[in-house]
Amino acid sequence: MLDFRPELNAIWAQLQITAADTPEIAALFQQEPQRVSDLTLEAAGLRVDLSKNKVSQQQLKLLLEFAAQSPLSYHRSALFEGKPINSSENRAVLHPALRDFGEITALTSGYRDTVYEQRARMLTAAEQIRSGEWLGHTGKPITDIINIGIGGSDLGPKLVYEALREFRHNTLTVHFISNVDGAEIYSLLKTLNPETTLVAIASKTFTTQETLLNAKTALAWLRQGLDIEQVEASSHVVALTASAANAVSYGVAPERVLPFEEWVGGRYSLWSSIGFGIACAVGGEAFSELLQGAHALDKHFAEAPLDQNIPVLMALIGIWNINFLGYPTQAVIPYCERLGLLSAYLQQLDMESNGKSTLRDNTRANTATGPIVWGQTGTNGQHAFFQLMHQGTHTIPVEFIGALQDTLSDATHHRTLLVNMIAQASALMSGKPAPDGEAYRDYPGDKPSTMILIEQLTPASLGALIALYEHKVFVQGSLWGINSFDQWGVELGKKLTNELLPKEADLKAFDESTRALMGLVNTRL
């Protein structure tokens, strides 16, 4: 698997030395007259301006040499060839195959046939719901879908559903339930009619605690409202899962299990049957355009040389910021309210993938790894945390995202939105010295940012944007020497939850604080 420790590469030491002498960003524009054109790239409908980052082109060249000497090229090929690059679970990671219209992944015909068959089955079910052909127990068409999932079975579909609101079916609403907090699902159920509601249980394993508890509540509501004892097997329930046998054992009718493959990771699963709610909302054509946009970025990532490869360059600049400049966080600020869930989605994608301290060779990392990812939409963020970004003691790299056109807005609103975004990036970089005696008005500047532009928010551009971040995260994991495709860090908390849930649980093995807190909870519930 070509294990790798980045700090043992000779170029790593060179990068550490040169980082201390990095000029201010404004000075880099003076020293590199072609900086904007050299560091602005386009692919798959995305335009990415990297010029406002605090890295010289010579330093970037060193970073590219480091990448060339790493296992990145091997890992990139292995990803598309279906090799088991998820080493801890010995699995292939083939989410690009779910959107492979050009056969850039090395799937055998049998695998490809399976992907196409599963997609067709899911899209057929979605179209039956959209057309009114899919009827509930009392003969009424479906008007509401409750997608019950958590993590990758929730965040990705919810992001796309919210982002593509202008493409949605006008008489069908998809609701997303994830948190085990009962207030969420009980509040929703009060507003719905069981006769016209479909429950989509989304779980890769069909064993997820939160999902099954929420599903139990929703099915009890359906059972009471429809007077059906075996409601799980009714036309009001579908399962979206890689564990069809578990779903059938649960009671879901086999013909209403919409499967996907085990090699689809949860946080990469919106392209699979987990995207059922998306397809119901926007239709098969728009869903295919979403896949095609992601595929276009896959093709760019697979084929572009490293020095022209947008995910690679973004990943290298991220590593530069974290490991050499000491900036541990990454803000993502979309200037598009419909992308309001993007930062939450990217938190899971990035922090669950690269929030690791153990390398592929089973040793501890000696370098910092994944960043703390956070953000909010602009211009709202300007009236919240931008104060800290401009004048605080922390340097926070920003990735700004904007659409040049918006059919849901007008020229005045949209121009104001975009100009705000551009002005903030300029202010963060350039700063402004304070007048004498008024240090509180000082803007130090020299704050790095990347600008990502799309022409318009469409299924294709959204697909490309999400795939860009998937591959950026993958590249960083490869260069840090970690496995980006497992998530063992979530297991201990789940184990302890199961130990503490029974009221008669033996608490002796737990610390005094935990025993006291559980004692309090047990007196109430």
Distance of CA 449 to the CA centre of its chain: 20
Q: How many Å apart are CA 276 and CA 283, to the nearest integer?
A: 10
Q: Summarize the confidence of residues 470-497 as an average pLDDT.
A: 97
Q: What are phi and psi of 492, to 5 degrees?
A: -65, -45
Give residue 463's identity as a one-letter amino acid code. G
- Cβ atoms of residues 299 and 104 within 8 Å: yes
Least confident of 10-14, 114-118, 285-289, 512-516: 114-118
- Please say whether the beta carbons of 150 and 178 come within 8 A: yes
Exposed (0-12), middle (13-18) or buried (19+): which is 453, by Cβ within 10 Å? buried
Secondary structure (H, E, C), 88-157 = CCCECCCHHHHHCCCCCCCCCHHHHHHHHHHHHHHHHHHHHHHHCCCECCCCCECCEEEEECCHHHCHHH
Q: Is 413 a catalytic residue?
A: no
Which tokens in the block code for residue 380?
């709202």
186-204 pLDDT, tens per residue? 999 999 999 999 999 999 9
Question: What is the rounded average pLDDT of the residues 304-333?
Answer: 99
Does residue 162 register a pLDDT over 90? yes
User: Is the predicted pLDDT of residue 110 greater than 70, yes or no?
Assistant: no
In single-letter form, the type of residue at position 235 comes to S
* Poorest-pLDDT segment among 81-95, 212-226, 279-293, 380-394: 81-95
- The pLDDT of 360-386, averaged and rounded, is 98
Q: What average pLDDT does the segment 266-290 reach?
A: 98
Per the residue annotation, which of 140, 216, 394, 494 is the catalytic one? Answer: 494
Res 442: pLDDT: 98
Residues 106, 115: Cα–Cα separation, whole Å? 13
Q: 114 or 285, which is more confident?
A: 285
Which structure tokens are listed for 120?
Answer: 């067709």
382-to-23, 113, 365 alpha-carbon distances in Å: 27, 48, 36
pLDDT of residue 113: 86
Residue 194 phi, psi dihedral angles, 5° rounding = -60, -25
Residues written for the chain: 525
Distance between first and last Cα of the chain: 49
Q: So what's the pLDDT on residue 3?
A: 83
**pLDDT above 90 (res 107):** no
Q: For the chain, what percent of residues have pLDDT higher than 90?
A: 96
Q: Kindly report the number of other CB atoms within 10 A of residue 316's CB atom.
A: 28
| 456 phi/psi in degrees, rounded to 5 | -160, 150
Whole-number Å distance between alpha carbons of 323 and 481: 14
**Which of the residues 195, 289, 352, 399 is marked catalytic?**
352
What are the tens digits of pLDDT across the range 421-470? Answer: 999 999 999 999 999 999 999 999 999 999 999 999 999 999 999 999 99
Quick one: which of 103, 50, 59, 65 has its CA closest to 81?
103
Average pLDDT, the chain: 97
Average pLDDT over residues 377-381: 98
Residue ranges of the domains in the chain? 99-287, 498-524
Query: Distance between CA atoms of 167 and 160, rounded to whole angstroms?
Result: 11
Tell me the one-letter amino acid at 24: E
Clarify whether 383 is annotated catalytic: yes
Asked whether the predicted pLDDT for residue 1 surpasses 80, the reply is: no
Q: Which two tokens stand for residue 90?
A: 């010995």
111 or 282: whose pLDDT is higher? 282
Q: Helix, strand, or coil here: 333?
A: strand
CB neighbourhood size of 510 (10 A): 16
Burial 86-107 (b: 16+ CB within 10 A, else e): bbeeebbbbbbbbbbeeebbeb
**Residue 71: predicted pLDDT:** 97
pLDDT reported for residue 297: 98
* Cβ–Cβ < 8 Å for 267, 353: yes
* From 383, 438, 504, 512, active-site residue: 383
Nearest to 69 by CA among 2, 165, 150, 125: 2
Contact assessment for residue 269 and residue 115, using Cβ atoms and an 8 Å cutoff: no
Cis ω for the linkage preceding 379 (within 30 of 0): yes
Confidence of residue 112 (pLDDT cuts 50, 70, 90): confident
Q: What value does the mean pLDDT take over residues 277-300?
A: 98
494 is a catalytic site residue: yes
The H-or-E segment that residue 402 falls in is strand 398-405
Does the structure show a pLDDT above 80 at 76? Answer: yes
- Tell the CATH topology of 99-287: Rossmann fold (3.40.50)
